[in-house]
Amino acid sequence: MKTLLYLLLLVVSICTAQTTISGTITDQTGLPIPGVNVYLEGTYDGAMTDVDGNFKFNSEESGIVILVASYIGFEPYRKESDIAALENLDIKLRESMNELNTVVLSAGSFSAGDNSKVNALKPLDVVTTAGAAGDFIGALQTLPGTTANPDDGRLFVRGGTADETQIFVDGNRVFSPYLPTTGNIPTRGRFSPFLFDGITFSTGGYSAEYGDALSSVLLLNTTDFPVEEKTEIQLMTVGVGAGHTEIWDDNSVSVNATYINLAPYNEVVPQNNQFIDPYQGASGEAVYRHKTSKGLFKAYGAFSYSDFSLNQEDINVADGFFFGLRNRNYYGNLNYSGELSESWDLQTGISLSQDHTDLDIARTSVDNAETAVHAKLKLSKRYSNYFKIHFGAEQFYIDSQEKVRFQDEPFKTNITQNNTGIYAETEVFASKDLAFKIGGRADYYDNTQSVELSPRLSAAVSLSNSTQLSAAYGVFNQQVDNAILQYDPLLETETAQHFILNFLHKKNNRMLRAEAYYKQYDNLLTFDDAMPGFDTNYTNTGDGYATGLDLFWRDEQSIKNLEYWVSYSYLDTQRLYRNFPESATPAFATDHNLSIVTKYWVDNLQSQLGFTYNYASGRPFTNANESGFLNDQTTSFQSLDFNWAYLIDDQKILYLSVSNVLGRDNVFGYQYSSTPDAQGQFDRRTIGQAADRFIFVGFFWTIGGIDNQLDNL
């Protein structure tokens, strides 16, 4: 009884022993911060600072306590102290860094996706840009830094060939990202744009994480764990498709399949090529995802098959010649990303790709097979918001075989590569207005037993809340194309140095981006034959440069329901490479490129109408009737594309797109006769559009009751 009373007294006495805690909270510049939450950790004792940054509260705690001051937008403050010493404190809070107030290392990069300051495109733009017809590669071609080559369809960045851009899915390299095609029929990306929710397109100066790419990298991140089960059906003028997503516990599976056949379309809409078997393709994809307590595992697999044949026109062959193509492609990757601890992140993956192409060209048959593996491990350590380190290692195995049969004479070549890369990079924020990224990578190339080092640097500084300046420098190496390497495995890597200066202004949903760059190419491959073969002499003595200015303006504020962007690129480039007799501007590089993309939402029609206008100045070509190399220019390329997406309801969408609405007869180049006529002139054939227009109508229907077709708009 006595003990209890004593206990009670003790409780009461503790209750009455009050200490006052007080002080002032200011930011780094000495301005008071009102509204800060100040409290003793593990207790309810605390207060909020007033307009002058002052706080005062009482506590019944005693001894050593932890004082916490936390406020949105600032780094939390913690102080361990004897409670008696917590009076008249003077606390300074450091502003924390978030997406809106922090400088971004943006030189070279465009991204589409989350809420980042440097976003040029939104995820939706990828599928709703007129002219892109649902191909994300097509949408990226409306960004500055790219050169329009609508007869090819791949990405040509800043005077680089399409092979100088590498594409990655969830960090793993994709070895054959494009559907196979033949000259003058544009290709498309192999993947469905609906698979990705983050796209970063870097036109130069990218992170040391990525190697073996001279000009550009395109990073695609697949969507994370789905939250809804659904079934989708697609009916299109060119084929059909279906998909389904199933979720159970911490697992989900999404599958989809598409069949495309252009025969009926070609019957209705005349083509400029004489198809024998019109294009047909079947593809299927499956993604399995499993959530673990600290991460996400993804397994992705895709299969595609395509074939077509046509009678290819040729100025030197009166009736043209037969061209047939059959391709099978398997691609799969396994990926895991997760937290190892509060500050350590791990990302690892392996991709396997098998590509098989059979070509029949006149009386020659070519059988091409490539097996490639890419394994990668990446670790990130976050010391604070101000200092981070990333490092990793990757291994490539590429085996490529070519069997050629010419008039029953078989001929076989093979090249195997085993290359290793390691990299490390640190991100340092001196403040929220000044940031640096310093890193480098080392690549070991097995065939030449050589190591190539590639340093990378970038820096960014805020000029004001809405403007920033950034710069990047880097050395980039890339191995010579397999088709050449199989004849000479000892060829060195080609190199490029990038120098980039970037200005970014973003305010009120308007964005202006200007970027100037200089790119120096060295060690470019050269050879002395019209067609590379075994007897050809190869060297790494070519070089070149590309310099220019890219401008981008996006505005979604000025006119209600209208979003538009304008991209302009000026490019000055010359190179001595392959079998060029002298330094010259290659045929794929045009001086001026302009894209204007508009999207207008019509409320009472539940429709989005879009127009895209593309302009590219004339392309260089060699006029055989004049002396010199790449001595002439075609007329400019121009195209006006239209699309209309109509939301019938939240589950059905009707989509119409027409490319080259005005039917302009664009010229991409000329093929000259190999022999002159009686007057000594060389006759020529125009290489023009595959079709004057392309018309696409699709109906997309999502079944499942709880899904929303907004996903697909």
Q: Binding residue for other proteins (CB under 8 A) from 9, 17, 64, 100?
A: 100
Question: Under the criterion CB under 8 A, does residue 73 sit at the interface with other proteins?
Answer: yes
Residue closer to other proteins by CB (options 12, 276) is 12
Question: Under the criterion CB under 8 A, does residue 227 sit at the interface with other proteins?
Answer: yes
Which residues inside 491-530 make contact with other proteins, applying CB under 8 A?
none
Which residues inside 547-606 make contact with other proteins, applying CB under 8 A?
556, 563, 604, 606
Residue closer to other proteins by CB (options 430, 710) is 710
Q: With CB under 8 A as the contact rule, which of the stretches 38-46, 295-303, 468-476, 583-591 interacts with other proteins?
A: 38-46
Q: With CB under 8 A as the contact rule, which of the stretches 2-10, 377-385, 425-433, 514-522 interacts with other proteins?
A: 2-10
Question: Under the criterion CB under 8 A, does residue 294 sit at the interface with other proteins?
Answer: no
How far is the C-alpha of 676 from the C-alpha of 280, rounded, in Å? 39
Q: Binding residue for other proteins (CB under 8 A) from 78, 79, 122, 294?
A: 122
Question: Under the criterion CB under 8 A, does residue 228 sit at the interface with other proteins?
Answer: yes
- Name the 3-class secondary structure at 500: strand
Q: With CB under 8 A as the contact rule, which of the stretches 114-122, 345-353, 415-423, 492-500 interacts with other proteins?
A: 114-122
- Name the 3-class secondary structure at 14: helix
Question: Under the criterion CB under 8 A, does residue 80 sit at the interface with other proteins?
Answer: no
Q: Report the C-alpha dihedral over residues 133, 134, 136, 141, rounded to 10 degrees.
A: 20
Question: Under the criterion CB under 8 A, does residue 610 sit at the interface with other proteins?
Answer: no
- Strand 19-27 vs strand 89-93: parallel, antiparallel, or unpaired? parallel
DSSP letter string, 625-678: TSSSSS-EE-PPEEEEEEEEEEEEETTEEEEEEEESTT----EEEEEE-SS--T
How far is the C-alpha of 455 from the C-alpha of 473, rounded, in Å? 8
Strands (E), 292-433: 295-314, 317-339, 344-361, 364-384, 387-406, 409-431
How far is the C-alpha of 549 from the C-alpha of 310, rounded, in Å? 40
Q: Report the C-alpha dihedral over residues 309, 310, 316, 318, rounded to 10 degrees.
A: 130
Would you say 376 and 172 are in contact if contact means Cβ atoms under 8 Å apart?
A: yes
Q: Binding residue for other proteins (CB under 8 A) from 90, 319, 649, 677?
A: 649
Question: Under the criterion CB under 8 A, does residue 123 sit at the interface with other proteins?
Answer: yes
Question: Under the criterion CB under 8 A, does residue 1 sit at the interface with other proteins?
Answer: yes
Question: Under the criterion CB under 8 A, does residue 430 sit at the interface with other proteins?
Answer: no
Q: With CB under 8 A as the contact rule, which of the stretches 137-145, 348-356, 480-488, 645-653 interacts with other proteins?
A: 645-653
Which residues inside 246-275 make contact with other proteins, applying CB under 8 A?
none
Would you say 125 and 139 are in contact if contact means Cβ atoms under 8 Å apart?
A: yes
Question: Under the criterion CB under 8 A, does residue 488 sit at the interface with other proteins?
Answer: no
Residue closer to other proteins by CB (options 341, 407) is 341
φ/ψ of 330, rounded to 5, equals: -115, 140
Q: Binding residue for other proteins (CB under 8 A) from 37, 309, 364, 673?
A: 37
Q: How far apart are the first and last CA of the chain?
A: 76
Q: Binding residue for other proteins (CB under 8 A) from 562, 647, 690, 697?
A: 647
- In Å, what is the CA distance from 209 to each residue of 174, 340, 424? 15, 20, 8
Q: With CB under 8 A as the contact rule, which of the stretches 132-140, 223-231, 423-431, 538-546 interacts with other proteins?
A: 223-231
Strands (E), 64-195: 64-70, 77-82, 89-93, 109-112, 119-121, 165-169, 172-174
Q: With CB under 8 A as the contact rule, which of the stretches 227-235, 252-260, 268-276, 567-575 interacts with other proteins?
A: 227-235
Residue closer to other proteins by CB (options 113, 688) is 113
Q: Binding residue for other proteins (CB under 8 A) from 6, 7, 235, 292?
A: 7
How far is the C-alpha of 522 from the C-alpha of 314, rounded, in Å? 35
How far is the C-alpha of 110 from the C-alpha of 202, rounded, in Å? 6
In the block, tokens 């207060």 appear at 47
CB of 14 to other proteins, least distance (A): 10
Name the CA radius of gyration of the chain, rounded.
Answer: 30
Residue closer to other proteins by CB (options 99, 528) is 99
Question: Under the criterion CB under 8 A, does residue 21 sit at the interface with other proteins?
Answer: no
Q: Binding residue for other proteins (CB under 8 A) from 124, 218, 500, 616?
A: 124
Q: With CB under 8 A as the contact rule, which of the stretches 1-9, 316-324, 335-343, 410-418 interacts with other proteins?
A: 1-9
- Output the six-digit token pair for 47: 């207060």
Which residues inside 47-66 make contact with other proteins, applying CB under 8 A?
48
CB of 218 to other proteins, least distance (A): 20
H helix or E strand, kind and range, residue 242: strand 239-248
Q: With CB under 8 A as the contact rule, which of the stretches 94-102, 206-214, 324-332, 545-553 interacts with other proteins?
A: 94-102
How far is the C-alpha of 216 from the C-alpha of 474, rounded, in Å? 12
The DSSP letter of residue 619 is P
Nearest Cα to Cα of residue 137 among 108, 160, 109, 157: 157
Residue closer to other proteins by CB (options 245, 590) is 245
Q: Binding residue for other proteins (CB under 8 A) from 115, 407, 464, 679?
A: 115
Question: Under the criterion CB under 8 A, does residue 82 sit at the interface with other proteins?
Answer: no
Judged by the rule CB under 8 A, the positions of this chain that interact with other proteins are 1, 4, 7-8, 11, 15, 35, 37, 39, 41-46, 48, 68, 70, 72-73, 98-101, 114-115, 122-124, 197, 227-228, 230, 556, 563, 604, 606, 647, 649-650, 706-708, 710-711, 713
